[in-house]
A and B are shown apart, each in its own frame.
Chain A
Amino acid sequence: MARAAVLRRLTWAIAEVTDRIDETPRVRSLTFDVPGWPGHLPGQHIDVRLTAEDGYQAQRSYSISTPADGARVTITVERLEDGEVSTYLTDILELGDRIELRGPIGGYFVWEPSRGGPLGLIGGGSGVAPLMAMLRARVAADCDVPVRMLCSWRTAEDVIYADELAAIARDANEVSITHTLTRSAPDGWSGRRGRLDQEALSQLAWPSELEPLTCVCGPTGFVEAVAAALVELGHGPHRILTERFGPTGG
């Protein structure tokens, strides 16, 4: 395992919102300009700190959904009805506003082109965000690492990055992207239906004989089920990297 060569102190930066994209009615991507940002690896996350006028503070972690790009850092935030940080980020924060953040954090749940493949990316809901950073890095590098990405959503309305994923699946060599819907599918849905259980993974994930590296991110139940099924299918536990995400993911 590659360790961070230098353990750098993580200081809070005041970052300005430079772009907002509504991915779905409940999910918004926010791009920040972060002075002094040292760069990051796909899969790493940031901490956000909000301070109210009465001094009350709240912190949360968000995965970065883009590869390193100078001082630009993009996160993808799912609006949680009772989440005081996520609702602030999705409902109140406007272009030109500034917040405190620090990072990058983490270093195990990462992939960069030099790590090779085959690469499996398996995401549930907004857990696709850090996998998107990896996929975008793979596309930007235009390398030959083959990728199989599996995305599980509740409904078709929940699909984030839909257009970009479709374009990547169409244009990039050796990249396949499969969507599955677990609750309801509209008429004419051409993707899969149902959960990514062991049977689905035996068809869709890389065969274990190829010794793929597989990154799994989503809610706890999703990650537990997918990771356990991959082990059952013969994947080495150390070739499966997991990250929990979402309302019950810490």
Chain B
Amino acid sequence: MTFISRGFQRRQAPAASSDRLPPGQYVTRDFPVLSAGPTPRIGLDEWRFEIIGQVDRPRGWSWQELTALPAEEVTVDIHCVTKWSKLDTSWRGVSLDTVLDGVETAADQVMAHSYGGYTTNLPLEDITGGRAWIAYEYDGEPLAAEHGGPARLLVPHLYFWKSAKWVRALELRDTDEPGFWEGYGYHNYGDPWREQRYSGD
């Protein structure tokens, strides 16, 4: 049975239709920042992005090489586990299908590694098939460092902690292992539409 909070009522008209807003979320127009430590600053001349782990051969890109790959403009809704959602955010970046094209692997899991030491784990099938990008522009501007620049993952169908900021490598693995927040009790998969915020949800 649902517990009713005495005297509580909705104060604002819904800012989004229910098919846009996952359960327990509210719409924000800000772009809040969440990270566990200081924002790492990575110079573009030393920046690299790599595919490592269970692959036929590791591969990597310098900043010039990555930004020379075919880019896509995507407009997506993003959902943070801390309850805010931001609708129609626009990004530019490279589809992970593009960077994974031709990679031979038996892996079905991925650990994303970031500058600064952050990690997050995802199933490989969730970052392929046109559902994930490495993004380096937000709203027509270079991605700000506090939002994950120079480049971050963009995996909008999962809670936004899966969209690793300051990404430096994707490690293809045949076993799953919790990343940073997953190890602190956040959900291993993180589907906002099933409200998978914490372990056991």
Give the contacting residue for B8; candidates A51, A60, A105, A230; CB below 8 A.
A51
Instruction: Judge whether B10 is part of the interface by a CB distance below 8 angstroms.
Output: yes
Which residues of chain B are near A106, meaning CB under 8 Å?
184-185
Which residues of chain B are near A9, meaning CB under 8 Å?
198-201
Least CB distance from A54 to B in Å reads 7
Which of A96-104, A166-174, A187-195, A198-206 lies at the interface with chain B?
A: A96-104
Complex: how many Å from CA A1 to CA B198? 19
Give the contacting residue for A100; candidates B3, B34, B40; CB below 8 A.
B3
Q: In the bound complex, do residue B38 and residue A248 qualify as a contact, i.e. CB atoms below 8 Å apart? A: no
**Per-position binary interface string of chain B over residues 158-189, scored 1 when its CB falls under 8 Å from any chain A CB and 0 otherwise:** 00000000000000000000001001110000
Q: In the bound complex, do residue A4 and residue B36 qualify as a contact, i.e. CB atoms below 8 Å apart? A: no
Q: In the bound complex, do residue B80 and residue A107 qualify as a contact, i.e. CB atoms below 8 Å apart? A: no
Least CB distance from B150 to A in Å reads 17
Chain B interface mostly: loop
Which residues of chain B are near A4, meaning CB under 8 Å?
183-185
Which residues of chain B are near A7, meaning CB under 8 Å?
185, 199-200
Complex: how many Å from CA A8 to CA B184? 10
Question: Beyond A7-B199, A238-B117, A248-B30, is A51–B5 a contact (Cβ under 8 Å)?
Answer: yes
Q: In the bound complex, do residue B10 and residue A231 qualify as a contact, i.e. CB atoms below 8 Å apart? A: no
Q: In the bound complex, do residue A107 and residue B116 qualify as a contact, i.e. CB atoms below 8 Å apart? A: no
Instruction: Judge whether A114 is part of the interface by a CB distance below 8 angstroms.
Output: no
Which A residues between 1 and 54 are near B, CB-CB below 8 angstroms? Answer: 3-4, 7-10, 12, 14, 47, 49-54
Least CB distance from B20 to A in Å reads 16
Give the contacting residue for A108; candidates B8, B184, B201; CB below 8 A.
B184
Give the contacting residue for B9; candidates A56, A100, A220, A227; CB below 8 A.
A56
Please name the residue on chain A nearest to B7 by beta carbon. Answer: A92
Give the contacting residue for A248; candidates B3, B8, B10, B32; CB below 8 A.
B32
Q: Kindly count the residue-residue contacts between A and B in the assembled complex, taking CB atoms under 8 Å apart.
A: 123
Q: In the bound complex, do residue A108 and residue B36 qualify as a contact, i.e. CB atoms below 8 Å apart? A: yes
Instruction: Judge whether B33 is part of the interface by a CB distance below 8 angstroms.
Output: yes
- Size of B's binding interface in residues, CB under 8 A: 40
Q: In the bound complex, do residue A57 and residue B200 qualify as a contact, i.e. CB atoms below 8 Å apart? A: no
Least CB distance from A7 to B in Å reads 4
Instruction: Judge whether B82 is part of the interface by a CB distance below 8 angstroms.
Output: yes
Instruction: Judge whether B57 is part of the interface by a CB distance below 8 angstroms.
Output: no
Give the contacting residue for A52; candidates B8, B26, B30, B37; CB below 8 A.
B8
Q: In the bound complex, do residue B37 and residue A242 qualify as a contact, i.e. CB atoms below 8 Å apart? A: yes
Give the contacting residue for B83; candidates A12, A51, A60; CB below 8 A.
A60
- Size of A's binding interface in residues, CB under 8 A: 52
Complex: how many Å from CA A30 to CA B30? 28
Please name the residue on chain A nearest to B199 by beta carbon. Answer: A7
Complex: how many Å from CA A55 to CA B32? 27
Could you list which residues of chain B lie within 8 angstroms of chain A, going by C-beta atoms?
2-12, 23-24, 26, 30, 32-40, 80, 82-84, 116-117, 146, 180, 183-185, 197-201
Please name the residue on chain B nearest to A239 by beta carbon. Answer: B37
Instruction: Judge whether A82 is part of the interface by a CB distance below 8 angstroms.
Output: yes
Instruction: Judge whether A228 is part of the interface by a CB distance below 8 angstroms.
Output: yes
Q: In the bound complex, do residue A52 and residue B185 qualify as a contact, i.e. CB atoms below 8 Å apart? A: no
Which residues of chain A are near B37, meaning CB under 8 Å?
227, 237-238, 240-242
Q: In the bound complex, do residue B36 and residue A97 qualify as a contact, i.e. CB atoms below 8 Å apart? A: no
Instruction: Judge whether A250 is part of the interface by a CB distance below 8 angstroms.
Output: yes
Complex: how many Å from CA A244 to CA B200? 25
Q: In the bound complex, do residue B38 and residue A227 qualify as a contact, i.e. CB atoms below 8 Å apart? A: yes
Which A residues between 183 and 233 are near B, CB-CB below 8 angstroms? Answer: 220, 223-224, 227-228, 230-231
Complex: how many Å from CA A54 to CA B145? 42
Q: What are 14 A-B interface contacts by the 8 Å CB criterion? A: A10-B198, A50-B5, A51-B3, A53-B4, A61-B83, A107-B185, A108-B184, A220-B33, A237-B37, A237-B40, A242-B38, A244-B32, A250-B32, A250-B80
Q: In the bound complex, do residue B8 and residue A92 qualify as a contact, i.e. CB atoms below 8 Å apart? A: yes
Question: Beyond A52-B8, A224-B146, A250-B80, is A230–B38 a contact (Cβ under 8 Å)?
Answer: yes
